[in-house]
Each structure stands twice: as structure tokens, then as C-alpha cells.
Structure 1
């Protein structure tokens, strides 16, 4: 449903947005002043809507969009809005109290649109078109490889 919402024509995020949580919707650009790298043509045809796409891996939602018009705000709001809609109380007086399905702490840390983002343990930089291991993971893997080879 997030893909449908993200690519819905006429979606006005100023009136139709998550209400129970605070979402950081302004994009966080990379600190580098270098010009973005030009991408090579893809070897497969991606199925991306005009405003972006949302992919899911277990409990991680990965949203990809271009920084055009209000795409970043739509991308930031799509997943939280869908989760909020499907997890709202079904009755005015719910017999079993429940907490929200969205971790506000995780959303604040990882939910802001950004040119550099850690996704499933990899640092993806969409400005320089690189994928790298975080430093701590790199060092841990080096130690593990050294231990195996010793």
C-alpha cells in the first residue's frame, strides 16, 4: 500500500499525513560538495513508480525516490501513514490496549530521507554511488577473517 500511496496522483501531504507520530520529512543531503556521480544504465529494468518505490525486507522499509518536487516528503510519510492506518484502533474502546507499531526512536534515527543511509548493515551513498561496510563491521570482519586464516 505504501507504493500505491507514494505514487498516488494528487496526494497532498499537508492534509493527509501521519498524525500520531512525528516524521522528519526534509531531506538530509550528503555533506560532500562533490557533484553527484552519473549512473550507468541499469542492466535490468527497475519497476519504480514516478515518485519512487518502497521495498520491504522483514521489518525494514527501504524507500527510494528522486529529490524532485515533494517526493522526499511523500517518501518520508508513505510508510508511517500506511502503518498508522492499519494499526489504528478498530473500536472506540479497545478491549486490549496496544502500543503503536512504529518505533518513534528508530523512525527519528533512520526514517529521514538522506543521500547517505545505512540499509541492512551497508552504508549506501547515492551521491557517490558507493556501497560500503560501516567501519565497525569492517574491523570485526577483518578480525574474523584473520582468525580463520591463522
Structure 2
């Protein structure tokens, strides 16, 4: 069995990115923020109070369109067009990939992976992003280690 530990490097910008994503995904926070930015822009451009009010009202209303089903459908369609064309199935042997999971579901999925490996649909198991105990559990369940 080949062990490879990859400790995560601390990234300062991740916390800022998470804060911005939280703001973007919370309309109750984002829309007043957009109204405030629109009012600040109108004040900076020295627009009349009436224009400031309209801009502060219409900017969040226009921006809230990203939360509509139509916007979701358009974004979904655009994202599907970005996918590469399906490739021809390769002759590579099927590999079961266990991506990082929490301890709550690790036991059941590891046991299912070992069972599938014994049945034959997969020729190998690749454990990614989890602790060593997942690979050790596969060893206890009778999965022979191989170096990739």
C-alpha cells in the first residue's frame, strides 16, 4: 500500500472567498448591500434625491433576477454547453474512487466498496482525501493493497 499525505496549506484568501460566497448566496444580505452601493453611486454622481431613490430601489430589483427560475435555467443551459463532448469509453480497467468523506458514512461506503471489488466490477480502489483509516479498513475487509 502506498501512503501519501497531503496536508492542506493555509490560504488566507479562502476565508474572504467564503465570506463573499455567503453574501452572494444570501439574498437578504446581498440585495440591501446592492441598494446601499447604488445609493452611494448615485450620491457620488450627485444625482437628485429622486434619482437616488429610484436607483436604490431598481438596482436590487434588477439584481434579484439572478434568483429567478429563468436565470437558473439559463445558467444551467450555459453550463451544459461548456461541458466537453463525451469521449469514447476507454479500455482502462474500472476503478472505484472513494473521495473524502466524513466518519459518519465512511464505514458503510468502505464496506460497499470492498464488496464491489470482491464481486468484480472494479479492479482497484482509489482512496482520495480521506484519512488513512479508510484504506486500513479496506485492508481489514480483505482488499489487497497495490501500488499505483
TM-score (norm 1): 0.26
From the two aligned structures, give the one with the greater helix fraction: 2
TM-score (norm 2): 0.26
From the two aligned structures, give the one with the greater strand fraction: 1
